[in-house]
Structure 1
Amino acid sequence: MKILILGGIKSGKSAFALKLASQFSEPRIFLATAQAFDEEMAKKIERHRRERGHAWHTIEAPIELPEALKEISSGGVVLIDCLTVWLGNLFYHQKDVDFYVEALVKNIESFSFPLVIVSNEVGLAPVPADKETRKFAETLGLLNQKIARLCNHTYFMIAGKALIAK
């Protein structure tokens, strides 16, 4: 079972993903992609840790998400939160985005345990004025399409409410 949860900022993606993933048996593994580049992000990461509680084993994977997913060999459920932040990290650290995206898609395709994936839908906003932001938005949109094709279910979050997209 593979589930993709899309939505905008503060649409309720992470809370819905935790609720959904908690319905699966343990172990519960949380693949965290965020890096604390500033105090605001550090506080957000800490708040998310508290919300998850002790029922989740967290693996930090801000860059090496494909490898972290590949190394998971136990049953239960895995929650990736989120692809948007991970992709932003790749851009920030000037990694080979195509290589990492291809590796992630391949590892998601072959993953055999329940998997819940969170990502932002940025395609509803105006077209960004600068080239780098356009490239990021387009890359994320294409990544979301690839992941959605691999998933059994896709949800779109609006104002804390889940709409079934697939």
Structure 2
Amino acid sequence: MDKITLVTGGAKSGKSLFAETHVRAYGLPLVYIATSQAFDTEMEDRIAAHKTQRGAGWDTVEEPLDLCCALARTDGAGARLVDCMTLWLSNVMHAELDWQAELEKVLQTLREQSSPVMLVTNEVGGGIVPMSALARRYRDASGLMNQRLAAGAGHVVMVTCGLPLALKGSAAAPASLA
């Protein structure tokens, strides 16, 4: 899955900006697959800020659950940015779906892609142990999901303080990753 890049980091680490910049470097049409859902005004504001940050020129596909369908439907349409996998996982768990089975489907779909895909995810396990069982299950599932995605990706980049660190493959512009 050399066309797959996983970008990880903490909240507000600069990972989305890194991913947006590097997806543009492919020189292909831009497809943004959004997994977030606006359940409140704070999330609406966050989504608006992301739209402003990435600017014009993106074909946006909003898909909170059926990521496989969104990836299959957009393969061949350009370079895709999925933002973000941890929100997708939250949606899947909230819908009471089997997150491991859903992840297996996503991994299989990623293996079948012909166009580049950049996945953004959060590192959520680096802080304190969450107080609730649900939050601990989510933290653990996020870590396990990120391990599986990283194992299958051709490139893995951690962004912290706005600075990229290549963990696997290269953190260079995607044109050199193809």
Of all paired residues, the percent bearing the same amino acid is 36
Could you report, residue by residue, the CA deviation over 1:89-137 in whole angstroms, capped at 9, with x for unpaired residues?
Answer: 1122222322211111111122121111100011212222322111111
What is the root-mean-square deviation of aligned Cα atoms in Å?
A: 1.3
User: What pairs with 1:2-17 in structure 2 (closer than 5 Å)?
Assistant: 2-17=4-19
CA distance in 1: counterparts of 2:104 and 2:83, whole angstroms: 18
Segment of structure 1 superposing worse, 66-75 or 50-59: 66-75
Structure 1 counterpart of 2:111 = 109
Offset of 1:72 from its aligned partner? Answer: 2.0
The TM-score normalised by the length of structure 1 is 0.94
Alignment of 1:56-75 (within 5 A): 56-75=58-77
Contact 1:62/1:86, CA 8 A, preserved across alignment: yes
Aligned: 1:150 with 2:152: yes
| 2:47 aligned residue | 45
Paired with 2:12 and 2:52, the residues of 1 have a C-alpha distance of: 17
**1:55 maps to 2:47:** no
Unpaired runs of at least 5, structure 2: 169-178
User: Distance between the aligned counterparts of 1:10 and 1:35, measured in 2?
Assistant: 18
The answer to whether the 8 Å contact 1:33/1:81 transfers is yes
Answer yes or no: is the 8 Å Cα contact 1:27–1:74 preserved in 2.
Answer: no
Task: Indicate conservation of the 8 Å contact 2:76/2:114, yes or no.
Answer: no
Deviation at 1:75, TM superposition (A): 4.5
